[in-house]
Structure 1
């Protein structure tokens, strides 16, 4: 019987590494396309959801960043947070953007980007790492739900990245996060600069974007100009998101 650690490794980096061989056959896309992409009569009758589906990746990114600008300037509109919106998205969803963010309690995506119910498809995990389960979720959010932009969102003073830099032994499953952050840390160590933590945080974001770009499902959407993948850096003190890629 295999040890759990081996199963964990297989479900992460190896799943991304070898996934292309399976997806390259076209079988996965065919199965997902036939079984998951269903007509959505509610969405078709819902002008707000339909509007999200029709925007371009560039427009989606602009909408995301404009929301963050409102947040920073304390001019939040808190859109799509009414009872009516709750009813509108109760049976159907079409988020215009996806976020792979850190689990840090100080970085709630809907608030940071001034969005509401049904606007964002959010996956959160310590270190905003693109493990297989997160990639699969984001593939679903983009291919099936129609998200047009996918942002990997790191943030200042990230504890997961700091722990990776310090190294050592970690209790429970905490250590399983370290390998996926290590690449960014090593890249930052080779760069000139004094704030190695912030450099590593940003390098980790860029690495996770690279991993997402290896997805055949997401890559196909990018080739069709239906998706854009970007990296972002959130400043805990100012609330501002800066694009890294």
Structure 2
């Protein structure tokens, strides 16, 4: 697939999911047998570990379609980068999706820390520490002038920052985008209505992001 074709497949799958008309493709015995000798996913999906955001379900995809990497708050480390590069460089996926969502616990904990100085317990703090750079240069941590909660503003900034971070950290991903072999997109998922909206694009997927 091209990046545009991969995104179109995800977009169509999410629309089926929102309509409550999933096709559950590529999940039968024949598909299992086909994949036993190898995989060729069309998308690497890097998302949050939240139990409510299962990528194959919300995009109505099947076995072998998505190469999924998940961490709380979709925070990046070297193992994450290696996993993503494997999906793109070795498996040949033409699309990389960074998937955020509303009511994210990691983003909420970060917003709480920024506003009050209170630190979360244990190693949860390491997750918060990796989300905080997404708001570098922000003048304040208040709600938006239109009433948008700060946590929601932070979620959007964090998705966009992660798209830029992946391309900035990985020479392989940056080269793939520059060559047109890969597109990286930032997507926000709505837990209530099930929709996934495009908010950031590096490369070309045939659709402009929502500003």
Cα distance in structure 2, aligned partners of 1:204 and 1:236:
17
Residue 194 of structure 2 aligns to a residue whose secondary structure is coil
Residue 101 of structure 1 aligns to a residue whose secondary structure is strand
- Residue ranges of structure 1 left out of the alignment (5+ in a row): 1-54
Correspondence for 1:228:
183
Q: Is the contact between residue 161 and residue 185 of structure 1 (CA under 8 Å) also seen in structure 2?
A: no
The 5 Å alignment of 1:101-140 reads 101-140=47-86
Correspondence for 1:91:
37
Residue 207 of structure 1 aligns to a residue whose secondary structure is helix
Residue 225 of structure 1 aligns to a residue whose secondary structure is coil
Residue 189 of structure 1 aligns to a residue whose secondary structure is coil
Cα distance in structure 2, aligned partners of 1:133 and 1:73:
36
Per the normalisation by structure 1, the TM-score is 0.75
**Residue 150 of structure 2 is aligned to residue 196 of structure 1:** yes
Counting strand residues as a fraction of each chain, which structure ranks higher? 2
**1:130 to partner: Cα distance:** 2.3
Q: 1:81 aligns with which of 8, 27, 45?
A: 27
**1:211 to partner: Cα distance:** 0.5
- Residue ranges of structure 2 left out of the alignment (5+ in a row): 201-211
Cα distance in structure 1, aligned partners of 2:128 and 2:145:
23
Residue 77 of structure 1 aligns to a residue whose secondary structure is coil
Correspondence for 2:207:
none
Q: 2:174 aligns with which of 190, 214, 219?
A: 219
Residue 141 of structure 1 aligns to a residue whose secondary structure is helix
Correspondence for 2:126:
176
**Residue 193 of structure 2 is aligned to residue 238 of structure 1:** yes
**Residue 92 of structure 2 is aligned to residue 146 of structure 1:** yes
Structure with larger Rg = 1
Correspondence for 2:5:
59
Q: Which moved more, 1:106-115 or 1:210-219?
A: 210-219
**1:224 to partner: Cα distance:** 1.6
> Could you give the per-residue CA deviations for residues 103-145 of structure 1, whole angstroms, max 9, x where no partner exists?
0000000000000100000001100122221111101100100
Cα distance in structure 1, aligned partners of 2:146 and 2:103:
16
Q: Is the contact between residue 6 and residue 94 of structure 2 (CA under 8 Å) also seen in structure 1?
A: yes
Q: Is the contact between residue 72 and residue 127 of structure 2 (CA under 8 Å) also seen in structure 1?
A: yes
Cα distance in structure 2, aligned partners of 1:209 and 1:193:
26
Correspondence for 1:39:
none
> Could you give the per-residue CA deviations for residues 74-121 of structure 1, whole angstroms, max 9, x where no partner exists?
111100000110111112001000111100000000000000100000
Q: Is the contact between residue 234 and residue 241 of structure 1 (CA under 8 Å) also seen in structure 2?
A: yes
Structure 1 residues 162 and 185: alpha-carbon distance in aligned structure 2, compared to 1, 3 A threshold: farther
Cα distance in structure 2, aligned partners of 1:82 and 1:181:
39
